[in-house]
Structure 1
Amino acid sequence: MSLGWIILIIVVIVLAILFRGAGSFLPVGKEQRISITEIELVGFRLLPPCAFSHRIAGKVINRSTEHTLTEMALEITLLDYADGNIIEQRDKVIWLDVPPGQARDIVEYVDLSSTRQPFGTIPWRYRIIYAKGR
């Protein structure tokens, strides 16, 4: 195999990798990615277990000027009260319909196996993983 063919194969592989990576940021159909900086979560709280499931509640504000927020994923992390170590972590996909510049109150069930509740509270944190819209 000549050096020219080897270079051509390497270029094709690199372009395929770049194209595939860039494709994950392109809209699929009418779906668009919304920057997580355009989503604001206000007053989010972890509610006590109800029928073997916890709930999260709060207000979701869509700061996008162009896209309706239709889906977002949160990473929810429960912490040990005593030492702050992670005792459980789950991803939760939430489907919504929040037009540009509007807000919605939500209550969502989250399957968390940890039932540790020292002093009636579970230290926890959350972050937005991604947001999608149309």
Structure 2
Amino acid sequence: MIEAVYTLLKKYTSFKTVRHPYSRLISAYKNKILDQKDIGFIKKGHLNSIERRFGSLSFVSFVKNILFEFYIGEVNPHWKPYYRQCQYCRLPTKYLLKLETFTDDLIGLQEVNLQTNL
């Protein structure tokens, strides 16, 4: 099964979309702390833990909490590095597209594919 996936991925133009790590942190802070949209995050007591450990719900406290999670080995998947998530980096990939410049990157990818398929 895995071999078949690798064979298919080698035949086609493969790409992954990634976000800049700082963009991911800022987005997570806005979602989890400022807007408090993740009810599960709140119900699990993460806001209280951050405030208790670091004295506030500031961005600095949020980042310190993430570093603390890495230290104790309990990293939330929302800010876990891509390379540590399942088999993401093991799949053959020809191109990396950045979410921050996705439209431009996609246009560039189309141009590359047009040139290589002539």
Into which bin does the TM-score normalised by the smaller protein fall?
under 0.3
TM-score of the superposed pair, with normalisation by structure 1: 0.25
The higher relative CO (CA closer than 8 Å, separation ≥ 6) is in: 2
Relative to its length, the structure with more helix (as a share) is 2
The structure where strand makes up a greater share of residues is: 1
